Amino acid sequence: MKAAHPEALPIAGGTDVMVEINFDRHRPAAIMDLNRVPELSEWATEDGLLRIGAGVTYTAIIDELGHQLPGLAMASRTVGSPQIRNRGTVGGNLGSASPAGDAHPPLLASGAFVELASAGGTRRLPAREFFTGPKRNAMRKDELIAAFLIEPAKGPQQFSKVGTRNAMVIAVCSFALALDPERRRIGTGIGSAAPTPVMADEAERFLEGVLDEGGLWERPAIVDAAAVARFGELVAAAARPIDDVRGTAAYRRHALSVMARRTFGWAWDEYRGRASA
């Protein structure tokens, strides 16, 4: 159907699409209701990865997958309200590709892939290649998002979001962190502080170096505060924020460095607790 009608706008939960239509920002020539495709709301394990249909809601992620994907579940809990979480989907978040989309930082931190399907076949893109600009993504007109693929958490994960109130709020900025003790890797994702969601590569490599050199994965002691502060600075440096109605670029950078320090502190405490248990 999408191949025959590439101009048709897909609708899943409709929590972005209907806002656009109600405010008359968008008048799609046709709408394609994806709720009639039951496979989109299913998830399963495939070669050690979770393959999660694009139509799986935030509520289902929290309830059914929270123990395997704690970072994404934390982010999902901050989305909108119960009504929005019951309807809204990660596929829709990816489709909108807002730099402020809350699912994106944990997908980046965990090295997730986005599966795009068309009449011609299926392709899987690393999430970081999927976001191409503000509210723009790598999906072609004849494609749909079928699913995303993500590894079950190998270690502690965290998500932190700054908003002007506690619920129903678009992120001023956000940060996701994933520890992978098996591969000795740190994963990051920054939201709402660049034209697209981004990763903080240099910060990741720096912290991996600190943990490796100190033998801290094997003997998890407290990490030197100066190193954690440097990690925060490098995360802030990876952002390309702007001043807008929600906050200034300087505030976003500051908040990111604080969130990076705090989320690492929480995740590392959890890792140390597990190691000593």
Ligand X SMILES: Cc1cc2nc3c(=O)[nH]c(=O)nc-3n(C[C@H](O)[C@H](O)[C@H](O)COP(=O)(O)OP(=O)(O)OC[C@H]3O[C@@H](n4cnc5c(N)ncnc54)[C@H](O)[C@@H]3O)c2cc1C
Task: Give me the residues that bind ligand X (CB under 6 A), please.
Answer: 9-17, 19, 34, 54, 78-80, 84, 87-89, 91-93, 95-96, 101-102, 144-145, 168
Q: Contact at 8 Å (CB) between 76 and 62? A: yes
Q: How far is the CB of 164 from ligand X (least distance, A)?
A: 12
95 vs 111 by CB, closer to ligand X:
95
CB atoms within 10 A of CB 30: 9
Q: What are phi and psi of 115, to 5 degrees?
A: -100, 120
Q: Is 175 helix (H, G, I), strand (E, B) or coil?
A: strand
Per-residue tokens: 147: 């699913």
Q: Which amino acid is at 54?
A: A
Distance from chain centroid for Cα 173: 12
Q: How far is the CB of 213 from ligand X (least distance, A)?
A: 37
Q: How far is CA 71 from CA 2, 38, 153, 175, 270, in A?
A: 32, 26, 8, 10, 13
Residues in the chain: 277
Pairing of strands 31-33, 9-11: parallel
62 vs 223 by CB, closer to ligand X:
62
Q: How far is the CB of 161 from ligand X (least distance, A)?
A: 8
Q: How far is the CB of 170 from ligand X (least distance, A)?
A: 6
Q: Which amino acid is at 235?
A: V
87 vs 128 by CB, closer to ligand X:
87
Q: How far is the CB of 103 from ligand X (least distance, A)?
A: 6
223 vs 259 by CB, closer to ligand X:
259
14 vs 232 by CB, closer to ligand X:
14
Q: How far is the CB of 14 from ligand X (least distance, A)?
A: 5
Residue with tokens 């001043």, as numbered in its chain: 243
72 vs 223 by CB, closer to ligand X:
72
Per-residue tokens: 201: 């590569």
Q: How far is the CB of 163 from ligand X (least distance, A)?
A: 8
Structural element, H or E, at residue 167: none
Q: Contact at 8 Å (CB) between 193 and 248? A: no
17 vs 259 by CB, closer to ligand X:
17
